[in-house]
Structure 1
Amino acid sequence: MIQKIKILNQEFQLHPLGGLFWEEKSLLLISDVHLGKVSHFRKFGAAVPRKAIHKNFLLLDKIVSDFQPFQICFLGDLFHSSLNKEWELFENWVAKTPAEILLVAGNHDIIAPEKFEKLKVSIFPELIIDSFLLTHHPEEREGCFTFCGHVHPSIKLKGFGKERIKLPCFFKSKSQMILPAFGQFTGTHSLDPKHSDEVFAIVEDSIIKV
């Protein structure tokens, strides 16, 4: 179930796969996919199933199908490290995806820009659209509301008795929203919200404000 929110009089939809859709711009924001991470792990002997390599691309197909955006902007760490076998899968995915694709480079994005340019994927250090700053690392900048990633945010919740659960989340402060990591096998980092923060946890196929 998608959660709708309004920020600076603009409409956004939070998707349980971890992406955020800006309705007025038909722009889909996705952060921290870390393509190539599964192949990287397998190369060094980790027992990760081969079919996991295709999981991220299936999830990307799903969220693109749900929103059919004009543009897709990856907020950094699209790839986990250097070129590996998953680059070819990415080339095929770009070729069949009708949306314009943008990349705000993150600290893991070390693949040569020329490789992306050949696919007509534009790379930026950051983007400012209207009063919204799109960047990889969290940053609060005067006059802007920031959408970012990098942190892989999650929230710890307490149940009855001694039950504890950690859920990936969209973490919103007054001037910033940190998107959850979209990629599989990325891990999460627990954040402690202040009273003024808003947390939208991902619970299976739903977004729940906690």
Structure 2
Amino acid sequence: MTANVQIHDQNFVLHPSGGLFWVERSALLISDVHLGKVSHFRKYGAAVPRKALHRNFDLLDEAISFFRPKLICFLGDLFHSHLNAEWTLFELWVERTPMEIILVAGNHDIISPHKYEQLGIRVVAEIQSGDFLLTHHPEIREGFFNFSGHVHPAIRLRGSGRQSLRLPCFFKAEHQLILPAFGEFTGNHVLEKSKGHEVYAIADETVIKI
């Protein structure tokens, strides 16, 4: 189940995959997929099942099938590190994905932009669209509402006694919305909710406003 939010008279849909759909622009925003991280773990002996290599691509396909966007915009850290076996899987995925794809480069995006451009993917430092600013790192810039990633936001819910639950989330402030990490095996960072914040947690394939 998704959740809806309106920002500056524009409509956005929050998907349990961690993707954010901008309705008026038919654009799917996705952050911190970290492709290649599974192969990186396996290379150094981590007991990660091989089938996990395909999980991120399955999630991408699910979100794309749900929204059928005209544009896919990755808000940084699309690939975790250097080229490895998952780049070939990524090439195959791009071949069967007909939408325009843009990458807003993040700190982990160290693969040459030419490799992406050969696949028809444009690599940029940021995107300004009207009064919206799309970046990898969260940024406050006068006159703009910022969409970003990088932080891998999560919220901690506390129950009776010492019970607690940690959930990935969309974290919204007055001028900013931070997307959760889309990729598997990425980890997350707990943010503290305070006055003026809106938190949309992801649990059991559902986005829930906290």
Aligned identity (percent) is 62
* Structure 1 residue aligned with 2:160: 160
Q: Distance in 2 between matches of 1:23 and 1:98?
A: 18
Amino acid in structure 1 at the alignment position of 2:72? I
Instruction: Using the TM superposition, give the Cα deviation of residue 182 of structure 1 relative to its aligned residue in structure 2, in angstroms.
Output: 0.2
* Structure 1 residue aligned with 2:44: 44
* 3-state SS in 2 of match to 1:193: coil
Unaligned runs of 5+ in 1: none
* Structure 2 residue aligned with 1:146: 146
* Structure 2 residue aligned with 1:20: 20
* Structure 2 residue aligned with 1:80: 80
* 3-state SS in 2 of match to 1:120: coil
* Structure 2 residue aligned with 1:113: 113
* 3-state SS in 2 of match to 1:169: strand
Q: Deviations over 1:96-141 (max 9, x none)?
A: 0111000000000000111000000000000001110000001010
Instruction: Using the TM superposition, give the Cα deviation of residue 160 of structure 1 relative to its aligned residue in structure 2, in angstroms.
Output: 2.5
Instruction: Using the TM superposition, give the Cα deviation of residue 50 of structure 1 relative to its aligned residue in structure 2, in angstroms.
Output: 0.5
What pairs up with 1:93-132 in 2 under 5 angstroms?
A: 93-132=93-132
Q: Distance in 1 between matches of 2:204 and 2:105?
A: 29
Q: Distance in 2 between matches of 1:73 and 1:192?
A: 27
Q: Distance in 1 between matches of 2:77 and 2:174?
A: 25
* 3-state SS in 2 of match to 1:155: strand
* 3-state SS in 1 of match to 2:89: helix
Instruction: Using the TM superposition, give the Cα deviation of residue 193 of structure 1 relative to its aligned residue in structure 2, in angstroms.
Output: 1.4
* Structure 1 residue aligned with 2:3: 3
* 3-state SS in 2 of match to 1:4: strand
* 3-state SS in 1 of match to 2:57: helix
Amino acid in structure 2 at the alignment position of 1:202? I
Q: Distance in 1 between matches of 2:205 and 2:159?
A: 20
Amino acid in structure 1 at the alignment position of 2:115? K
Instruction: Using the TM superposition, give the Cα deviation of residue 204 of structure 1 relative to its aligned residue in structure 2, in angstroms.
Output: 1.3
* 3-state SS in 2 of match to 1:17: coil
* 3-state SS in 1 of match to 2:52: helix
- Runs of 4 or more consecutive aligned structure 1 residues displaced over 6 Å after TM superposition: none
Instruction: Using the TM superposition, give the Cα deviation of residue 195 of structure 1 relative to its aligned residue in structure 2, in angstroms.
Output: 1.0
Q: Distance in 2 between matches of 1:8 and 1:39?
A: 41
Using the size of structure 2 for normalisation, the TM-score is 0.99
Q: Deviations over 1:158-199 (max 9, x none)?
A: 112321000000000000000000000000000001111000
Farther-moved stretch of structure 1 (76-85 vs 152-161): 152-161
Using the size of structure 1 for normalisation, the TM-score is 0.99
Q: CA RMSD in A?
A: 0.5
